[in-house]
């Protein structure tokens, strides 16, 4: 039987907008107690109030996933508030799409720190709680850019390739404790994340990624859907 998500506790990083916001709302609709993590405090508290207005539980914790102290505080506050952590959604991400010669060291480091180091810090911090419970789900939002190279995407792709490799190894380690690790790799998503994204019906929407997260979480406990690629059914116009 698929697990019942109601009253489980989920942390979503990068929750204030785009895919993170869609995932947060989808989880809340399932009765999940959601912890909202992002750097934008105002947007977080607006989302927190919107979810609470529907009668569901939400708790905002302003977080910088590149800071070990900030991440440890997020995990501490989440466990203090709800007493457990069942789900971590590693979603926080940034992207600068430039050729290598035009990419600054600061831009490269930011993508590595947010996209890769952030997932490492958050995953490492929740593992002790999930290992004690002998259950849990860590879902990482990567990208097809982590599998397919393209001009102007060297630094971004490198961060996502690293993220996929990290999650694959973590999956093998965590399964010993009945912890599922899932990597979701969307193509272009209509979030305004990159200039090439367009508001058209053929491009993937944030809600599509959220539905995929629910699909992975709804699998029977004995099943780990370890990696999912998401593409439009019909290729968008160029």
Q: What is the DSSP string of 41-63?
A: HHHHHHHHHHHHHTT--EEEEE-
* Closest among 60, 66, 59 to 44, alpha carbons compared: 60
User: Active-site residue among 82, 108, 129, 156?
Assistant: 156
Cα 18 to Cα 21, 147, 164: the distances in Å are: 5, 22, 21
* Integer Cα distance of 71 and 81 in angstroms: 15
Give whole-number Cα distances, 218 to 1, 18, 103, 215, 225, in Å.
Answer: 9, 22, 40, 5, 10
Confirm whether 76 is a catalytic residue: no
**Residues identified as active-site:** 156
């Amino acid at each position: 039987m698929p697990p019942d998500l109601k009253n489980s506790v989920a942390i979503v990083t990068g929750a204030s907008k785009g895919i993170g916001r869609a995932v947060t709302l989808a989880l809340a609709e399932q009765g999940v107690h959601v912890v909202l993590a992002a750097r934008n405090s105002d947007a977080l508290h607006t989302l927190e109030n919107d979810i609470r207005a529907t009668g569901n539980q939400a708790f905002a914790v302003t977080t910088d996933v590149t800071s070990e102290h900030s991440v440890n505080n997020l995990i501490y506050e989440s466990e203090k508030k709800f007493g457990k952590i069942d789900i971590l959604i590693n979603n926080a991400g940034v992207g600068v799409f430039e050729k290598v010669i035009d990419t600054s060291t600061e831009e490269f480091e930011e993508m590595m720190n947010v996209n890769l180091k952030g997932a490492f810090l958050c995953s490492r911090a929740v593992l002790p709680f999930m290992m004690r419970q002998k259950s849990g789900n860590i879902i990482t939002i990567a990208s097809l850019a982590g599998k397919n190279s393209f001009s102007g995407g060297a630094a971004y792709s490198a961060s996502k390739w690293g993220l996929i490799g990290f999650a694959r190894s973590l999956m093998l380690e965590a399964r010993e404790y009945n912890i599922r690790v899932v990597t979701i790799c969307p193509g272009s998503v209509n979030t305004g994340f990159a200039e090439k994204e367009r508001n058209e019906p053929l491009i993937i929407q944030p809600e599509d990624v959220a539905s995929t997260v629910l699909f992975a979480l709804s699998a029977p406990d004995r099943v780990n859907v370890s990696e999912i690629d998401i593409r439009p059914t019909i290729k968008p116009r160029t």
